[in-house]
Structure 1
Amino acid sequence: MKTIATCLLGSSLIIPTLTQAEETGDTLVVTKKAEETATANTGSYQPHSSVTATRSESRIVETPQSITVVPKQVLEDQDASSLDQALYTVSGITQSNTLGGTQDAVIKRGFGDNRDGSILRDGLRSIQARNFTPTTERVEVLKGPSSMLYGMNEPGGMVNIISKKPQMTPHVHLEGRTSSFGGGGGQLDVTGPLGGGFAGRLIVDHSETDYWRNFGRTRQTVVAPSLMWVGDSTVVRLSWEHMEYLVPFDRGTVLDTNTGKPVNVPRERRFDETYNATRGDQDTLTFQADQALSENWSSQFTYSFNRNRYSDNQARATAYDADTGILTRQADSTAAANARTQIAQLSLNGDVDWGRVNHQLLMGVDYEADRTYRGDMIRGTKTKNSLFNVYDPVYGLLDTSTAVSAKDSDQRENIDSRGLFMQDVLRLDEHWQLIGGLRYDRFDVMAGKGRPFVTNTQSSDSKLVPRVGVVYSLNNWSSLYASYTESFKPNSSIATQIGALPPEQGKAYEVGAKIDTSNGITGTLALYDIRKRNVMVSETIGGETYTRTAGQVRSQGVELDMAGQLTRSLSLVGSYAYTDARVKEDPENRGMRMPNTARHTAALFLTNDFGHTGLIANDDLRAGVGGRYVGKRPGDAANSFWLDDYTVADAFVAWHTPYSGYDVKWQLNVKNLFDTTYYTSSASNLRIAIGDPREVVLSASVDF
């Protein structure tokens, strides 16, 4: 709270400066960057362009790959507070193992896990545990392999979180909110010109709520200052985001093997202890410089450093007896864990005409260094207090452990990557557009653990990754496309001796159709076939466990995403996906469906702007309702149990009531409108995540 008070005091000094810059008539000519123009109509559900699909602003209808943009207005109306919530309406998305709710974990087209490198912030890979923060402006999801542009990645796709930037127009946003779970939060967001070509922004947000289960608390504080300088041909941005967090380490519920369903107890009942929590802080520092070299050429240099430090405690379930209801638990913890990434990129963009063909050129180099370290790994032992009856719980008997496991401690993983990439978007005529790209990447991996330290992964390799696509524009608002893309991701294991294994490799074919009508609907229909090989598998032969790259996974499917305006007052965002993701080659799981991947998912959200109500001068009333469906999913790799399908509905009402030149908004959100009990993902039969119950959130904000 001291940090918040300091920043609020600082904002009181900034706001007069912003006003003064406006009054003195400082005039600045700003060249719009891709991040600012991609969703210029911020009050609309309809996205027209994206910065993720080609690493420069491109119309969605002219991109030969499926790209979905969740704009600011959708995030605000739905009151998204996590990455899962932000992606509710995106096709082909389900949740993977979130490590007890402490990590973002997104499955795209059947591929993905926590810490899989598929979440980016402003085009740079993030290792943060929680990436959807109050600094988020919008979210872009690129489906299919993206290694040609972004390096190491899963073949299912990637999520790019676009952050809020300093603006030259003064603006202040103040907000307070409260939750039916108990507690609430507040936010200050102030931006504007500072004079001399500078603009600044400060975002301060604090939230603290009770956990919806029978104990626990969630707390998050974010302080994010940023600065921008605009010269005649140069734009420089510097931003820093600091977060401190406390989240319950909640592994959810367990499977009753007699029924094949989660145990029949109240969903609020936890099976761990009050000390189950993760505490940490994370920082993201980003520097970006854009330089116009001529009318047709520009360059960009970007450097990013992000770090996540945390410690956790858990009473971890190790076994469950379905006949007696006795759960065996073990007190474990991680002390002094630290993950950090440094990324440097230098790129050159050109817009040139060679003969009758226009070329949008991109070439560049990048370097990435990822470091993961977990210090003391504390492991408890089984005692009489390890036994816990899920039907008649008694808490407080299992104390935290202090026994450090030498063989499990000092876990390290180092990944270094150096890449060279080139891309050319050729506009042949008003109908035909081709895209071709190539990346060469060299990477080194080292991983292991223990005291003394044992190296279990030590490898160096390189990969050449192509990208090819074609777009045929039927007219200005519709197109057909086809693409071939590849991905790669190093194989690494901290715990198991694998030595030097070749990287996972993905290949994808995709065809589709797109529309983008003026003040109407943006939509994409995509059909795809993805195959991933060199998947790491383990076999036990003669009592010995061997690890090799024998696995192969295939995902085929159809996706439909739509967003925009049906009428002048009625907006929609919706999606449907059919995903058939299966293991093709594996010693044990051949033919099995991929865990946590639903064959059918769908979502639809409708919002109507009712306009002036007549109650207050110049007021405006908006309301929306929608729902999402997720089909049944395998709970583990062996498909030994399944999570039921579910449908969850949400609704909101927002009332703008201008007062003395201030834009005052009152908003009521009801999440999980019908209080449905559902299960979002599974890590095993002992770790089944439970979806949040009904929550009512009331917020009030003032903008000026």
Structure 2
Amino acid sequence: MKANKRDRLRARQRPAALALTLAFASSGQAIADEAVSAQAPATTPASTSASTPVSGVEGALPAVKINAARVSESEPERGYQGRRASVATRTDAPLVDVPQAVNVVTSQSIQDRAPDSLAEALETVPGVRMGNTLGGTLDALVKRGFGDNRDNSILRDGLQSVQPRNFTPTTERIEVLKGPASMLYGIQDPGGVVNVVTKKPQLERANSVSGFASSYGGGGAQADLTGPIGTSGLAYRFIADHQNVDYWRNFGYNRQDTIAPSIAWYGRDTSVLVQYEHMNYSVPIDRGTIIDTRTGNPVSVSPKERFDENYNISAGRSDALNVRVDHKLSQDWTVHAGYGWNRTYYNDQQARVLTPNFTTGILTRRVDSTQNGVQSTHNFTLNLEGKVTWFGLRNEILTGFDYMRNYRVLADLYRGKNNSTFNMYSPVYGTLPATYTLSPADSDQTDKLIERGAFIQDAIHLGDRWILLGGVRYDNFQELTGKGRPFVVGSTQSNSKFVPHAGLVYKITPEWATYASYSESFRPNTSIAAPIGTLPPEQGLAYEIGTKLETSRVTGTVALFDIRKKNIQTTQTIDGVNFVRNAGHARSRGLEVDVNGQLTDRWSVIASYAATEARYKDDPLVGGNPLPNTPKHEGAFYLTRDFGNVELGPASGRVRAGAGVRVFSSMAVGDGTGKVYQLPWGHVADAFVSWNSHIFGQYIDWQLNARNIFNSTYYTGSCCTGTPFVNIGESRQVIVTAKLDF
């Protein structure tokens, strides 16, 4: 879905740019130009982007003000360079001190590349791909071969989110922790977690309005207002956003309305943050195309031709509340408390493809509908962070307690009758009316999960070069699933588990480190769709070694990993009915490389590469098959040039431009019977140009983005057994944006 083309245009950090310019100029470093090159002119009004956090902990509140004399190495990002990420250890540790691969998609990267969704924002992160999004209605990410929709791996400010789309107008930056993260975050797949960091209230007034237009048709507008309330440390932020853009295929549209007020108080030792976000949305349910089993390739029709109907829509609303309190007990000890509530309500209907006849082109379809679907979560966390010296060794300790309640109920499910009047080679729409009847046996699909966990982590500094990181979590969960009227229990589980994590960092120099780590993960095996009884939880473990470099300009990581997962739950289709079973285990091994930052005063780079070998093991049907949505090779390379100030008559302003390409190898598509098809290689080129103009005394930022410049046909992934569906990448799109600061 086109979730937020606009928050990339609102993420400006002019106060930070000015501070960096002055600080580095005064220290004799010749990088003043590059500090400004990723930002607007120093004379531009203050940005509405969040400032540097006080602490690296998840959801940390922003600093009161940045000034040139106080710029330090604690900055979370500079241009494309991410320097710190709270998702890694839930503390303020620099990335170079973390014994796992961590990636940061900075606010500058989001602004320049103009992604439409969370998956697109993460396209430059090696080893992360789009998963089964249920026809584009949910965020779904595959990390190092593992992950799916609703897998608990997406966080907002460190707390689990069930919002269908998490890349909203409030997004500031995105952090990715690779590998198992259950020691810190409980129930997870072993591929990693993604933390969406949101914009916070500022004590420096900054307002903006912006608008955009898309070559698909339609556009949107946004207002972002922030500033102080009085002089006691109280600040507000209010973001309102409207988007209505035509869908890129032959019919449909994406509509989204967001309102997000927040308020914060920054005291001497205590900070309090309250955020609320409400969204109404309506998006197409688009399953893409299908595999022609005769050729092993996607069926030979135009990428823009859909196989469903105009009423294939998911419409709903989502609400999110986040409350956070940080209190400094002493110079060395701080307590963090957080509460998060999410609720999503939706209705959908779709013409679903059941079986194809590739010779005649006739598709058998059926109308399905879900009405009154609700998912909600309550999250609470209480952490104590401290620094102590024991036996001459510096210890950075984090201990805490987490509680999570995640309930999902799909109340009314409707089923229509099979219809075989649609020909995919000569489509005529409107032949399948949106008529259906309630299916009591499929209704009241329920998944209720409660999780409680306690953990402790210690980073021990063994002199100036060695850091030993260790932690353990005790986790207890109960889960109930089932469906039907009368209700039929599919699975009930209650289990407890200890989850360890250990890592070692050796700092060759203060900027260059090598590391090794071991970590584990777990996730209950449950199913709403079919009774499965009791299956043991999925369990993962991972070994990782790597090296990291962090200079004043560039951050780079090279990582080798080996992840193994057992008790994998998979779906098998027998006589048209889906059954859930245990598929043995899987293994994912690979290499990841990424470099982000500034090459010179004028040039910035985002570069990444991943080689991943991910396969099922020891299963009679799918053993030896590749894991879905995981290419063996993928890479991205973007270059950005700062051309400096350009004079155009009465107008002047800084011009920046950039371009890049993404390439990925073939991906496996399985039908659940052991047969595997291969999607072709894909390559996509994007570009942008921006002008931070000063026209007749007014500051206006202009930006043009071109995505998929050469209009390549490519495929982003697949899903489902029986007749596999294949997601098609979007066609060429040009977006023009304008933003006024006042």
Q: Do the structures match in fold with TM over 0.5?
A: yes
TM-score band by shorter chain is over 0.9
1:521 aligns with 2:554: yes
Deviation at 1:42, TM superposition (A): 5.6
Distance 1:221 1:547 in 2: 37
Match of 1:683 in 2: 719
Distance 1:597 1:547 in 2: 22
Distance 1:631 1:639 in 2: 19
Give 1:458's match in structure 2, choosing from 492, 511, 521.
Answer: 492
Distance 2:479 2:421 in 1: 41
1:180-195 paired onto structure 2 within 5 Å? 180-195=215-230
TM-score normalized with structure 1 length = 0.93
SS at match of 1:503: strand
SS at match of 2:535: coil
Distance 1:683 1:342 in 2: 30
User: Per the alignment, do residues 406 and 30 of structure 1 end up closer, same or farther by CA in structure 2, a change over 3 Å counting?
Assistant: closer
Distance 1:61 1:450 in 2: 51
1:257 aligns with 2:293: yes
Give 2:639's match in structure 1, choosing from 606, 613, 628.
Answer: 606
Match of 1:44 in 2: 79
Please tell me the residue identity of whatever aligns with 1:50: A
SS at match of 1:658: strand
Match of 1:624 in 2: 658
Match of 1:558 in 2: 591
The answer for unaligned runs of 5 or more in structure 1 is: 1-28
Give 1:428's match in structure 2, choosing from 448, 456, 462.
Answer: 462
Deviation digits for residues 277-302 of structure 1 (CA, Å, limit 9, x no counterpart): 00010011010001111111110110
Please tell me the residue identity of whatever aligns with 1:687: F
SS at match of 1:626: strand
1:540-559 paired onto structure 2 within 5 Å? 549=582, 551-559=584-592
Give yes or no for contact 1:378–1:401 (8 Å, CA) kept in 2: no
Give yes or no for contact 1:65–1:144 (8 Å, CA) kept in 2: yes
Please tell me the residue identity of whatever aligns with 1:697: I
1:312 aligns with 2:381: no
1:696 aligns with 2:731: no
After TM superposition, the structure 1 stretch with the greater mean CA deviation from structure 2, 408-417 or 683-692, is: 683-692
Deviation at 1:49, TM superposition (A): 1.2
Deviation at 1:630, TM superposition (A): 1.4
1:438 aligns with 2:472: yes
SS at match of 1:117: coil
Match of 1:20 in 2: none
Give yes or no for contact 1:43–1:72 (8 Å, CA) kept in 2: no
Give yes or no for contact 2:707–2:732 (8 Å, CA) kept in 1: yes
Provide the alpha-carbon RMSD of the alignment: 2.0
Match of 2:702 in 1: 666
Deviation at 1:682, TM superposition (A): 1.0
Please tell me the residue identity of whatever aligns with 1:608: R
1:494 aligns with 2:516: no
Distance 1:63 1:417 in 2: 27
Deviation digits for residues 614-634 of structure 1 (CA, Å, limit 9, x no counterpart): 325651100000011111001
Give yes or no for contact 1:246–1:280 (8 Å, CA) kept in 2: yes
Q: May I ask how many residue pairs the two structures share in their alignment?
A: 672
Distance 2:106 2:52 in 1: 23
Deviation at 1:257, TM superposition (A): 2.1
1:136-151 paired onto structure 2 within 5 Å? 136-151=171-186
1:33 aligns with 2:55: yes
Deviation at 1:97, TM superposition (A): 1.2
Please tell me the residue identity of whatever aligns with 2:700: V
After TM superposition, the structure 1 stretch with the greater mean CA deviation from structure 2, 285-294 or 499-508, is: 499-508
SS at match of 1:300: strand
1:11-410 paired onto structure 2 within 5 Å? 32-34=54-56, 35=60, 36=62, 40=75, 44-195=79-230, 196-383=232-419, 386-410=420-444
Deviation digits for residues 251-289 of structure 1 (CA, Å, limit 9, x no counterpart): 111222222211222211111111000001001101000
Deviation digits for residues 49-100 of structure 1 (CA, Å, limit 9, x no counterpart): 1111000122111110000000000000011221111001000122211111
Please tell me the residue identity of whatever aligns with 1:270: R
Distance 1:337 1:698 in 2: 36
Distance 1:185 1:304 in 2: 29
Distance 1:650 1:408 in 2: 44
Give 1:512's match in structure 2, choosing from 541, 546, 560.
Answer: 546
User: Per the alignment, do residues 210 and 524 of structure 1 end up closer, same or farther by CA in structure 2, a change over 3 Å counting?
Assistant: same
User: Per the alignment, do residues 217 and 551 of structure 1 end up closer, same or farther by CA in structure 2, a change over 3 Å counting?
Assistant: same
Give yes or no for contact 1:254–1:263 (8 Å, CA) kept in 2: yes
Give yes or no for contact 1:539–1:587 (8 Å, CA) kept in 2: no
SS at match of 2:81: coil
User: Per the alignment, do residues 233 and 31 of structure 1 end up closer, same or farther by CA in structure 2, a change over 3 Å counting?
Assistant: farther
Distance 2:286 2:135 in 1: 4
Give yes or no for contact 1:333–1:379 (8 Å, CA) kept in 2: yes
Match of 1:24 in 2: none
Distance 1:468 1:594 in 2: 27
Distance 2:509 2:636 in 1: 29
Distance 1:627 1:533 in 2: 36
SS at match of 2:544: strand
Give yes or no for contact 2:512–2:549 (8 Å, CA) kept in 1: yes
Give 2:510's match in structure 1, choosing from 473, 476, 486.
Answer: 476
SS at match of 1:75: helix
Deviation digits for residues 566-601 of structure 1 (CA, Å, limit 9, x no counterpart): 100100011000000011122211111101110001
SS at match of 1:468: strand
Distance 2:200 2:252 in 1: 34
SS at match of 1:239: strand
- Residue identity (%): 47
Deviation at 1:673, TM superposition (A): 0.6
User: Per the alignment, do residues 283 and 31 of structure 1 end up closer, same or farther by CA in structure 2, a change over 3 Å counting?
Assistant: closer
Distance 2:629 2:141 in 1: 10
User: Per the alignment, do residues 550 and 272 of structure 1 end up closer, same or farther by CA in structure 2, a change over 3 Å counting?
Assistant: closer
Please tell me the residue identity of whatever aligns with 1:138: R
